[in-house]
Amino acid sequence: MNTVRTRYAPSPTGFQHVGNIRTGLFAYLVARHFDGQFILRLEDTDKKREVEGSIDHLLQCLKTLGIQPDEGVGFGGSHGPYKQSERLPLYKEWAQRLIDAGRAYADPYSPQELEAFREQAKAEKRPFLYRNHRPQNPPKWDGSQPLRFKSDPKSYQWHDEVMGDLSTGPEVIDDIILIKSDGYPTYNFAHIVDDADMQVTHIIRGQEFIASQPNYLNIYEALGLEHPIFATMPHILAPTGGKKLGKRDGAKDVLDYIREGIVPEALLNFIASLGWNDGTEQEIFSKEELVQKFSLDRVQHSGARFDEQRLLWMNGQWIRSFNLDDLYNRVVDFWPESAANADENRKKVVLSLVQDRLKTLTDLPIMTNYFFTEPTPDWSMVRNNKQLKKLSDDDIRTLLTTARSALEASDFTSEALQQTLNALLESTGQKPGILFSLVRLSVSWAPFSPALNDTLAALGKETSLRRIDASLQAL
């Protein structure tokens, strides 16, 4: 077998969302799995739809997710240029071959005439076929008219790595446009030329192309080319309804997930497992494992719904799997403002306490703010607490004062504090629900915090005692 070469070939028409990027990921995984090459090609043949900044965004996405092309726009390679808009002469050349072979001709109709044909077909509830209107003596192609393929309608059956054996009749074959009147090729033609020229072995693309596959087969034949291996991916479905996930159904920018505190590993893992599994009960896969285990024939045939709950769960799994230094480097941009001047060691201590609690990296500020700034006592939190509301102000004052002096005598390691607190439970005869809650609130004034001994240890003796004093003052 030849070296496997796959490509991801988006058009620069906006931001990348999970639906797009999954196709790219799978193409990447196939290439890596077989020690082949992964190519990034830009299909920028529709100048009207082009959106500025698309390329930068695309590159940023791939970089963030660690999907590294071997060749392509921004990566060099010996089959370039990798932007279709810079390959126009090549398409002309291949088009000329078809013209010379009598397999392409100029389209003499005006857009209005074409539209009339289409309306007619629609009124008669027939599919529109251009070849039913194929001109007898088309004018010589001078580039001002679209160039059409002269098709040879026939039945086809072919194999798709994902979908299996597929077949169609001649009625789906038509004279499609190869070169538009603006001089740019259509996708339909350009991708065939480019894949051949770039020696692409596997075409991995979305389900929307399955209907035009027979037309492509017809063109491969006319060009005398052997066709690559095809693999058709099912769509990712929108959260509701059965439609494919698109921008207007709330498909989010891939980078938005990262900004919202989803780690790249989790996003990659999640996207890959939408429509693919390795047949075991494993749910969490690293990129390396995906490369090793991925195979197209285990890709699902039907669409998969995008379920953010599951993504969030996976994110938590990944966050908990990182060692502290790794996690620390990932959260640099997520700390609360109050942590701006805190030193690294302090932040690491705090981070280690909340690591198990983070669902996304953006949870960090709300979970850690009180470690870095003095909280404002809010006694309504005590009064609204189911257990604490029974205590009188005097009870509270006594309990807190007793606790304060016991803590003052503790040397404030996590272990020593646990002993101090346990002793305090005995000496005061209080339940943990009362004593611990009260102390926890008086040092944090937060709705939740890590274990009390750990929280106190992280705050340190001086700060803890100061906050208890401040809380008592405010009572």
Q: Give the nearest distance from C-beta 463 to RNA in angstroms.
A: 18
Chain residues 48-67 in contact with RNA, contact rule CB under 7 A: 49
- Measure the CA–CA gap between 363 and 376, rounded to whole angstroms: 21
In the complex with RNA, the residue whose CB is nearer, 228 or 450, is 450
Which residue out of 150, 244, 247, 461 is catalytically annotated?
247
> Residues near 184 by Cβ (< 8 Å), separated by ≥ 6?
45, 46, 47, 84, 85, 88
188 near RNA, rule: CB under 7 A: yes
- Measure the CA–CA gap between 60 and 54, rounded to whole angstroms: 10
In the complex with RNA, the residue whose CB is nearer, 46 or 395, is 46
Which of 304, 349, 381, 406 lies at the binding interface for RNA (CB under 7 A)? 304
In the complex with RNA, the residue whose CB is nearer, 3 or 239, is 239
Chain residues 234-273 in contact with RNA, contact rule CB under 7 A: 235, 237, 241-244, 273
Chain residues 114-173 in contact with RNA, contact rule CB under 7 A: 114, 118, 125-129, 145-146, 163-164, 166-169, 171-172
Annotation says 247 is catalytic: yes
In the complex with RNA, the residue whose CB is nearer, 339 or 443, is 443
In the complex with RNA, the residue whose CB is nearer, 63 or 359, is 359
> Residues near 154 by Cβ (< 8 Å), separated by ≥ 6?
170, 173, 218
The closest alpha carbon to 414, from 373, 372, 459, belongs to 459
Chain CA centroid to CA 2, Å: 31
Which of 35, 89, 102, 111 lies at the binding interface for RNA (CB under 7 A)? 111
Binding-site size for RNA (CB under 7 A) equals 92
Do residues 7 and 41 lie in contact, with contact meaning Cβ atoms separated by under 8 Å?
yes
Chain residues 328-357 in contact with RNA, contact rule CB under 7 A: 356-357
- Measure the CA–CA gap between 98 and 466, rounded to whole angstroms: 85
Q: Kindly indicate which of the ranges 31-39, 58-66, 276-284, 390-398 contains the residues binding RNA, using the contact rule CB under 7 A.
A: 276-284
Chain residues 441-460 in contact with RNA, contact rule CB under 7 A: 447-453
177 near RNA, rule: CB under 7 A: yes
429 near RNA, rule: CB under 7 A: no
- Measure the CA–CA gap between 402 and 468, rounded to whole angstroms: 11
Q: Which residue matches tokens 């999954």?
A: 22
**E strands in 84-208:** 104-106, 147-149, 156-160, 164-168, 177-179, 202-206
Catalytic residues: 247
